[in-house]
A and B are shown apart, each in its own frame.
Chain A
Amino acid sequence: MGSDATSASEPLHPAIESLLRFVNEGLLADSEKKVESDTPLFDEGWIDSLKILRLIAFLEVTAGKKIPDALIVMDRFRTIETIAKNFLNQ
């Protein structure tokens, strides 16, 4: 699960860092749960039906384009890293 993006020796890419901050300080602000860039986001029920819409809205504003519903699938949304790679060109 680990990757270069999460290793202590290398800083996180700004897109991943900004998404991680949004998820932990925005979506999960009222939760004790915090995620890393490679934590599976949908395994434990942290993201509910409202949070997923907020997450999509954040990605659309950050990327400056609409995300079609058909692209909202596990292969593209598994972790923060996967999301950044697929929607934030990182």
Chain B
Amino acid sequence: MTIHTAFELKPLHPDFLISEDGLFVAGAAGSKLIYALDSKFRRMAFAAGAEERMFPTVIAEETLNRSEYFKSFPESASRVIEPSRKGQYFLSPAVCYHCYELLKNSVLSGETLITCCGKCFRADSADDSHLWEFTMREIVFFGSAAFIREQRDAWKQRIFDLSARLGLAAEVVAASDPFFGAETRGKRLLQQVKELKYELRVQRPSEKDMPLASFNLHERFFTSKFDITIKSGDTLHSGCVAFGLERWCMAMIEKHGVEKALRLVEKVDDLR
């Protein structure tokens, strides 16, 4: 008799395995593809003027509280129990929260772009496109409202073009799922109508479509909560672009198979 456990990995594909609890293991080719994709996004971020930062996988409860994370996503964050530490921690549900904490109470000298990549954890659902643990590359922008919108829209176009060159049948659509600070219907609808969040979604062979990236305007939400300002005295807004690397890997392998996926990722010029 075979005993199946929630953490047992099932081979969804020869190049990646996923457990019932939403854990992902990449094979040799899958790993190579994920690194190649991230390298592409990272180079694009540098070309746009971003500086890189590295952050811990855990995040302080205080940072998530300040971001009102628990109001927006009450069931999502995974708590870390470690009695020997002084602080209370969770596994990071997104990398960008670390950026706001890093810049807390600071005055930026000008428009700022930060890129970062890390493991993220969301426990509210688990299936083969909603992993509990996944890898997220982000580019976070700080500047005027016009600068943030310009950046967001440029990235939207840039990544859509990249997905087309990678042969993915993807489209950019306004998202309607709950976003930061959208704990009430009014806030959620206001975000929806203001198109604060767009997603690049790809059609999967046998299932519904899956988001590969999101393009987000935060308005003053994070800069006001973390008291981040800019030397010019202008009202400081923020925004971000986020890529789910395992989803890009799955989409590329499902569409092309591993060999062609790798060839395409290595061949496509990302700096156009």
Closest chain-A Cβ to B246's Cβ sits at a distance in Å of 29
Q: How large is the interface on A (under 10, 10 to 19, 20 to 34, 35 or more residues)?
A: 10 to 19
Leading 7 A-B pairs by shortest Cβ distance: A49-B186, A49-B187, A53-B186, A49-B190, A52-B190, A77-B193, A72-B189
Query: Is A35 positioned at the interface, with any CB of B under 8 Å from its CB?
Result: no
Contact with B along A49-90 (1 / 0, CB 8 A): 110110010000000000001101110010000000000000
CB <8 Å contact, B186 and A50: yes
CB <8 Å contact, A53 and B193: no
Query: Is B267 positioned at the interface, with any CB of A under 8 Å from its CB?
Result: no
**Chain A interface residues (CB < 8 Å from chain B):** 42, 47-50, 52-53, 56, 69-70, 72-74, 77
CB <8 Å contact, B193 and A73: yes
Question: Within the assembled complex, what's the spacing in Å between the Cα atoms of A50 and B187?
Answer: 8
Contact with A along B177-214 (1 / 0, CB 8 A): 00000001111011011110000000000000000000
CB <8 Å contact, A74 and B195: yes
Query: Is B176 positioned at the interface, with any CB of A under 8 Å from its CB?
Result: yes
CB <8 Å contact, B187 and A42: no
CB <8 Å contact, B195 and A52: no
Question: Within the assembled complex, what's the spacing in Å between the Cα atoms of A77 and B186?
Answer: 14
Chain B, residue nearest A56 (CB)? B189
Closest chain-A Cβ to B220's Cβ sits at a distance in Å of 9
CB <8 Å contact, A74 and B193: yes
Question: Within the assembled complex, what's the spacing in Å between the Cα atoms of A69 and B192?
Answer: 9
Closest chain-B Cβ to A12's Cβ sits at a distance in Å of 23
Query: Is B174 positioned at the interface, with any CB of A under 8 Å from its CB?
Result: yes
Q: Which residues of A contact B189 (CB under 8 A)?
A: 49, 52-53, 56, 69, 72
Question: Within the assembled complex, what's the spacing in Å between the Cα atoms of A3 and B176?
Answer: 31
Using known A-B contacts A42-B194, A72-B193, determine if residue A52 contacts B176 with beta carbons closer than 8 Å. no
Other than the known A42-B190, A49-B189, A52-B193, what 9 A-B pairs have Cβ atoms closer than 8 Å?
A: A42-B193, A48-B190, A52-B190, A53-B189, A69-B192, A73-B195, A74-B174, A74-B195, A77-B193
